């Protein structure tokens, strides 16, 4: 069975060399807070692999393809640098990688809209991961609405960070109200939304969310928040055709068992979830190809 990971992050070499120093120089404090910190036991929350290291890790785990998601950058300059790096990665490995573009309408939508169109012309197939509260704009910001409308026009999906209001707090945690996602999906019916991290459990709480056909959900970072039974519980409630497998690589998902990011334990958790072959095929591959229009 083919495996597509719909939620992977990768950073340019200049970021990998000194993530904290780069973040300080580029005015990206939230990236530094979330991605360069260490857990209480002293282990890092994530690694910073190169492109070649990512591909080797995919090969070792049997992951056939990955969708590279941008970070929710606070500056236009960082968005542009990430998008150009991703375009080069996809050109080098079109059979293994697709990528979404980072955009931020802070300072006026004109620059973000132009960058979104340019990145799409450069081969990127979606927008995200976006997180309005972390990027300095509101979900009702007119500039953001223009970005979402552009995604509908281009027929590309948008991945948004979602926070479960019932999850335990962590440094840098910000809320993502259910009403924001419901309004976006209702006001932009031509745009497909992928709500990361099981959508913060939004469709479990909301019948309206389950009824909106343009809302999808990925499983990124699941073991850090939920027990292994979440796969069967969520899919039983929402349906297998709405869920995309995502890891949040290179986040270390099992800090008590792993010192480097890996898909091994996560895929074992999925395989042990007692989902049938049809549900597994949709979750692990077919939904990603359909939602992202990736052939």
Residue that is written with structure tokens 């958790």 in the block = 269
The mean predicted confidence, pLDDT, of the chain is 96
CA 114, 27, 184, 215 torsion: positive or negative? Answer: positive
CB within 8 Å of 111: residues ≥ 6 apart: 76
Burial of 264 (0-12, 13-18, 19+ CB in 10 A): middle
Position 293 confidence tier, pLDDT thresholds 50, 70, 90: confident
Q: With a cut of 80, say whether residue 253 has pLDDT above it.
A: yes
Q: 76-92 and 109-121 helices cross at what angle (nearest 10)?
A: 10
Percent over 90 (pLDDT), the chain: 92
What average pLDDT does this structure show over 6-24?
97
For residue 5, what are the contacts with CB-CB under 8 A and spacing of at least 6? 58, 63, 65, 66, 67, 245, 246, 247, 249, 263
> Is the pLDDT score of 108 beyond 80?
no
- What pLDDT is stored for residue 17 in this prediction? 97
Alpha-carbon distance of 82 to 122, in angstroms, equals 12
Q: Which CATH superfamily is domain 4-291 in?
A: Metal-dependent hydrolases (3.20.20.140)
State the Cα–Cα distance between residues 74 and 132, nearest whole angstrom.
10
Extents of the domains making up the chain: 4-291
Read off the pLDDT of residues 163-174 as tens digits, 9 standing for 90 and up.
999 998 888 899
Query: Which whole number is the average pLDDT over 105-115?
Result: 85
Contact 198, 230 (CB under 8 A): yes
CB contact set of 146 (below 8 Å; sequence gap of 6+): 105, 109, 112, 113
């Amino acid at each position: 069975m083919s495996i597509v990971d719909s939620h992977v992050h990768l950073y340019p070499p200049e970021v990998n060399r000194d993530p904290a120093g780069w973040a300080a120089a580029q005015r990206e404090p939230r990236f530094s807070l979330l991605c360069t910190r260490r857990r209480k036991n002293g282990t890092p929350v994530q690694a910073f692999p190169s492109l070649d290291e990512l591909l080797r890790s995919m090969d070792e785990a049997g992951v056939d393809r990955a969708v590279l998601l941008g970070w929710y950058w606070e500056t236009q300059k960082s968005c542009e640098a990430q998008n150009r790096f991703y375009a080069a990665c996809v050109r080098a490995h079109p059979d293994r990688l697709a990528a979404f573009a980072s955009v931020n309408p802070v300072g006026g939508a004109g620059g973000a809209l132009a960058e979104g169109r340019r990145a799409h012309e450069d081969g990127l197939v979606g927008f995200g991961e976006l997180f309005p509260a972390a990027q300095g704009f509101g979900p009702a910001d007119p500039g953001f609405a223009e970005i979402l409308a552009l995604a509908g026009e281009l027929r590309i999906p948008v991945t948004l960070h979602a926070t479960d209001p019932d999850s335990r707090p962590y440094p840098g945690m910000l809320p993502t109200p259910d009403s924001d996602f419901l309004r976006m999906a209702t006001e932009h019916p031509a745009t497909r939304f992928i709500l990361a991290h099981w959508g913060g459990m939004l469709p479990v709480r909301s019948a309206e969310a389950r009824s909106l056909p343009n809302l999808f959900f990925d499983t990124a970072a699941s073991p850090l928040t939920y027990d292994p039974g979440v796969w069967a519980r969520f899919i039983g409630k929402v349906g297998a055709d709405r869920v995309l497998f995502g890891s949040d690589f290179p986040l270390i998902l099992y800090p008590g068992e792993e010192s480097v990011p890996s898909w091994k334990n996560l895929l074992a958790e999925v395989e042990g979830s007692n989902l049938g072959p049809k549900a597994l095929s949709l979750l692990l591959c077919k939904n990603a190809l359909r939602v992202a229009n990736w052939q």
